[in-house]
Amino acid sequence: MRKMTLAAMLLAATALSLPAHATDFRIGLQEDPDVLDPDQSRTFVGRIVYAALCDKLVDITPDLEIVPQLATDWSWSDDGLQLTMNLREGVTFHDGTPFDAEAVRANIERSTMMPESRRKSELASIAGTEVTGPHQVTFTLTNPDATLIAQFADRAGMMISPTAAAEAGVGFGANPVCSGPFQFAQRIQQDRIVLERFDAYWNADAIHLDSVTYLPIPDTTVRLANLRAGDLHMLERLAATDAASVRADDDLQYAEAVSLGYQGITINVGNGEGADHPVGTNTLLRQALELSIDRQALNQVVFEGVFAAGNQSFPPNSPWYNADIPIPARDVERARELIAEAGFERVPLEVMVTNNPVDMQVGQVLQAMAGEAGFDITLRAMEFASLLADQSAGTYQASRIGWSGRVDPDGNIHQFVTCDGGINDSGFCDPAVDALLNTARTSTDPAVRKQSYDAARAILAEELPLIYLYHQTWIWALADTVEGFTPYPDGMIRLEGVMVQ
């Protein structure tokens, strides 16, 4: 009897010492990501996949502190023109290529020189990358850049295998090779992305999952139904209207974090032939369109007041917000006057929206509001990656789209409205705005930066290449069997420490 009791005790002790059983962790995404190449991609859901696939030079904490990841520490020269980073040793890419200073140099060269790269404007301050040791790199800058470290906390800092990148060229995204906790296994467009555990990961002890499968399910109701049925372990961007239901469900967990980004309408004012439409060519009509919108009502109708109305790239509670330009009240009569002044009675406008119920509802509310002022809005519902492709190509008039936000304020504005910005799909170009935002980017004085952002916002509030609408809260729903998930303001799903019981 004593032997059996001892065996049982040993068995129980062994079980308690083990992590939760490994599993295929299934995540429901709101959209299907675009190309899985950190240099070419631009989707929010793509960044969620990268959180498991591609480690970065640095990362952030839930409190937005920048912390080491592949770089262990860094230092600036006194003049702010050199940044030296020491790199983590013992790291390999998924194809066995070692991660070292040469790999970083190759990555930065690709990001800044590859014609298809969208990271050029983010890394524009880098004049050269020197290998100053096997695991040390020194970046020489053309001018001080207060944003560079924050850029390295996102796609510009994601390290891909230089071997795989050289072999695949522009087609790298079909079989991405990085150094994160999971490696690429399979992708079926519009259906799934499968990653498998990378056993040689430098922080493998923090990973308790065999694989992770990302499933694009645009319909928020269907996504939640899949979670409740046990077909998902978690979903991202729970509809605000379902928040109360999830909180009351004992079989589910609810998590949220205030977003760093914004949602709005991007208007094509100079991006190819698509800019040749009344709203794109006439500032008065863009001003009238903004005045036709009641942002507070939009938030209440679609999001039950969970999100925050906004009119800038920074939320009203941000220290970078320009309080001298508050959210304008809806003024239908003034909007009609501006339309008449522009020489129109009714104004046609096609607006692209993603084909999920929430975005469609936002589009329909905007359509109704603007219609009262004199705009005849046609909604073009599209799959998200296709919408982005048309937006990039300039084959659109307006697009209901947003941005997930960045730690440094530069990441929410510079690349969208500067003449050569990497994601300037509106085609807006004003040298005065460029000068102001470049000053904000190069100064390390918060007061100088704030003054520059305020002055740029004053111009943008008149020209309106983007009409900002609201700032969302990231909301996740998880099965009650999931442990270890930490919500982050950037909306990413980090899988270190996550397990299923």
**Which CATH number fits the domain that encloses residue 228?**
3.40.190.10
- Is 291 within the bounds of a domain? yes
Please identify, among 144, 174, 204, the residue that sits at the C-terminal boundary of a domain: 174
Interior/surface letters 132-154, b for 16+ CB within 10 angstroms, e for the rest: eeebbbbbebeebbbbbbbbbbb
Q: How many angstroms separate the Cα of 86 from the Cα of each of 78, 108, 144, 301, 492?
A: 18, 15, 20, 50, 26
pLDDT at 18 over 70: no
Is residue 337 domain-shared with residue 450, that is, in the same domain?
Answer: yes
- Is 76 within the bounds of a domain? yes
Is residue 341 domain-shared with residue 244, that is, in the same domain?
Answer: no
Tokens of 130: 């020197």
* Domain range enclosing 113: 55-174
Question: In the chain, what percentage of residues exceed pLDDT 70?
Answer: 96
- Is 37 within the bounds of a domain? no
Is residue 347 domain-shared with residue 426, that is, in the same domain?
Answer: yes
CB 240 within 8 A of CB 304: yes
pLDDT at 2 over 50: no
Using pLDDT thresholds of 50, 70 and 90, give the confidence band for residue 22.
low
Is residue 343 domain-shared with residue 487, that is, in the same domain?
Answer: no
Q: What are phi and psi of 403, to 5 degrees?
A: -145, 135
- Is 2 within the bounds of a domain? no
Is residue 421 domain-shared with residue 316, that is, in the same domain?
Answer: yes
Task: State pLDDT tens for residues 190-233.
Answer: 999 999 999 999 999 999 999 999 999 999 999 999 999 999 99
Is residue 214 domain-shared with residue 105, that is, in the same domain?
Answer: no
Is residue 356 domain-shared with residue 304, that is, in the same domain?
Answer: yes
Task: State pLDDT tens for residues 337-376.
Answer: 999 999 999 999 999 999 999 999 999 999 999 999 999 9
**CA distance linking residue 43 with residue 491, whole number of Å:** 12
Please identify, among 151, 174, 197, the residue that sits at the C-terminal boundary of a domain: 174
Q: Give me the number of domains the chain comprises.
A: 3
Is residue 252 domain-shared with residue 329, that is, in the same domain?
Answer: no
Is residue 272 domain-shared with residue 200, that is, in the same domain?
Answer: no
Task: State pLDDT tens for residues 146-164.
Answer: 999 999 999 999 999 999 9
Name residue, tokens 């990501």: 33
Is residue 465 domain-shared with residue 494, that is, in the same domain?
Answer: no
Question: Which helix (DSSP H) or strand (DSSP E) does residue 108 occupy?
Answer: helix 101-113
- Is 62 within the bounds of a domain? yes
Is residue 431 domain-shared with residue 480, that is, in the same domain?
Answer: no
pTM for the structure as a whole: 0.81
**Which CATH number fits the domain that encloses residue 113?**
3.90.76.10
Using pLDDT thresholds of 50, 70 and 90, give the confidence band for residue 3.
very low
Task: State pLDDT tens for residues 279-327.
Answer: 999 999 999 999 999 999 999 999 999 899 999 999 888 889 999 999 9
**What is the per-residue pLDDT for 342?**
98
Is residue 113 domain-shared with residue 205, that is, in the same domain?
Answer: no
